[in-house]
Structure 1
Amino acid sequence: MLKTIILLTDTVQQQQPLANLLREHNRGLTFCSALRAADLGAIEADVLGDARLVSFAADVAVPEKFLLRLGYGAYKFYAAPTQYPGLPPAPDECDEDPRCYSVIAQSMMIWPDFKKVVGLETVTIPDGTVAAERERMVFSRLAYLFWQMSGMIASEAADLPGIIESSDGRRPALAMMN
């Protein structure tokens, strides 16, 4: 039974609104807050079997051992320019600001081939938009995607349905890894 959502966010101010939204869909949830990988390590091991990790706009590497202990998976909400899917561009790679971004909800797995996209939207930035407004537009779409998916995130489902996933949806067995 899903009992705990571990919220990994970029700022502490994001924690309460996200928790409140998820609690609307599942009043029985408890929440653990994390801003860094060290915060994840401080969570009691017996909590993880009934927990789901949700990373929202956080650029934190989650340890593999932590992911393996989660009973209800882990999902990452992030934004990326479409010309660099999955990665932000290096500062010297592009003189202009990107005009199109993807906001993505993706499963977090230790096996890259088994990650799947569970939510996706595109944001087109009008010409002449200043950097602060561009960031606001992209963040607003990311928050909207989270809002749309909040019912599924707070649900008992052990695995959210993918809209883009590998052709073989099986999780590798230990024998496959050797």
Structure 2
Amino acid sequence: MLKTIILLTDTVQQQQPLANLLREHNRDLAFCSALRASDLSAIDPDVLSEARLVSFAADVAVSEKFLLQLGYGAYKFYAAPTQYPGLPTAHDESEDDPRCYSVIAQSMTIWPDFKKVVGLETVTIPDGTVPAERERLVFSRLAHLFWQMSHMIAGEATDLPAIIGSGESACPTLAMMN
């Protein structure tokens, strides 16, 4: 039975709103907060067999040993420019600023062939948008994706359904992205 959600976030301020949202779908959940890999390693190993890790906008490497101990899997919510899939967002100001981003919910596994996309949306940035506003637009779409999936994240399923599996060669359709 899923008892604990481990929230790995970029900032402490993100923890409580995410926990509150998930608690709306499952009042019995306990939460562990983490900002760094060292926070993850401090979690009691007995908790992990009945836990799910959710990484939200965090750029933290999670160890294979930790992932293998989770009874309900691990999922990462992140944004990536569609021009450079798989690469982190550039933080410098350049003429080549991306205009289109994907916000993605993806399973985290030690076996790359078994990773799957469980949620996907796109956001197009209007011309002339300043970097701070671009970041806000992308982050708000990421939060919206988390909100849409919160009932599944807080649920009992040990494996969330894929919308794009790693073995699939088909490109995502427009319906999948929105």
Q: Does the TM-score normalized on the shorter chain lie above 0.5?
A: yes
Structure 2 counterpart of 1:128:
128
Q: How does 1:58-97 map to 2 (within 5 A)?
A: 58-88=58-88, 95-97=95-97
Is the CA contact 2:56–2:76 (under 8 Å) kept in the aligned structure 1? Answer: yes
Deviation at 1:90, TM superposition (A): 5.8
Structure 2: how far apart are the matches of 1:125 and 1:153? Answer: 28
Structure 1: how far apart are the matches of 2:84 and 2:113? Answer: 18
Structure 2 counterpart of 1:54:
54
Deviation at 1:84, TM superposition (A): 1.1
CA RMSD of aligned residues (A): 1.4
Q: 1:91 to 1:77 in 2, by over 3 A?
A: closer
1:58 aligned counterpart, secondary structure: coil
Structure 2 alignment gaps of length 5 or more: 169-178
Is the CA contact 2:104–2:121 (under 8 Å) kept in the aligned structure 1? Answer: yes
Structure 1: how far apart are the matches of 2:89 and 2:22? Answer: 32
Structure 1: how far apart are the matches of 2:103 and 2:90? Answer: 19
Structure 2 counterpart of 1:20:
20
Structure 2 counterpart of 1:171:
none
Is the CA contact 2:104–2:120 (under 8 Å) kept in the aligned structure 1? Answer: yes
Deviation at 1:91, TM superposition (A): 6.8
Structure 2: how far apart are the matches of 1:31 and 1:167? Answer: 33
Deviation at 1:100, TM superposition (A): 0.2
Letter in 1 for 2:166: S
Identical pairs, percent: 84
Structure 1: how far apart are the matches of 2:117 and 2:88? Answer: 18
Normalising by structure 2, report the TM-score.
0.91
Aligned residues: 167
Structure 1 alignment gaps of length 5 or more: 169-178
2:143 aligned counterpart, secondary structure: helix
Is the CA contact 2:113–2:167 (under 8 Å) kept in the aligned structure 1? Answer: no
Structure 2: how far apart are the matches of 1:122 and 1:7? Answer: 24
Is the CA contact 2:74–2:109 (under 8 Å) kept in the aligned structure 1? Answer: yes
Structure 2: how far apart are the matches of 1:43 and 1:167? Answer: 33
Structure 1 counterpart of 2:30:
30
Q: Which whole-Å deviations, capped at 9, do the CAs of 1:81-140 have from their partners, x for residues lacking one?
A: 001112125678x63210000000000000111100000000000000000000000000
Letter in 2 for 1:154: A
